[in-house]
Amino acid sequence: MLAQIVLLDDDQAALERTQNLLKQDGLAVAAFLDPMDALAALERTQTVQLLVTSITFPAGKPHGVSVAQLTKYKRRDLQVLFIDSADLAEHTQGVGDFLATPVEAGVLVASVRTQLTRAGQLG
C-alpha cells in the first residue's frame, strides 16, 4: 500500500522538487500551494498519514502550524513534518518534527519514512 502524504508549500519550485523526490521514492503525494486547499483535502481524505508543510505563508492565509493543529484536532494520528528556516523551529514544538532548510534529499526522504513508520504506514 502506498503512503498518503499531503505536501504544502507556497513556493512552486520547492513544492515540485519535494513532490518529485517523494514520488521517485514510491510515495503517493498530493501537493498544494494554498493552505485552505490542503485543509480541505485533509478533511475529506482520512487515508492521509502525513502532512509535510512549510510554516510561513502569505498574509491572509493560515500558516503551516495552524493547518497542522486544525487537522490534528480531529485526527490525532496525523504525523507532521515542518520544513522551514531554523529560526521558526520553536513554533512547531509539540505539533510535529522539524527540518531546517536547506534540506538534503536523503535527509528529507529518511525523515518522511520515519514519520510514516510512526503512523504505521511503513513496516
Fold of 4-118: Rossmann fold (3.40.50)
Label the pairing between strands 97-100 and 79-84.
parallel
Task: Write down the mean pLDDT value for the chain.
Answer: 93
* φ, ψ (nearest 5 deg) of residue 32: -140, 140
**Confidence (pLDDT) at 9:** 97
> The whole model's pTM is what?
0.93
Tens-place pLDDT, residues 90-113:
999 999 999 999 999 999 999 999
**Which pLDDT band holds residue 123 (cuts at 50, 70, 90)?**
low
Helix, strand, coil abundance in the chain, percent, nearest 5: 45, 20, 35
**Confidence (pLDDT) at 1:** 36
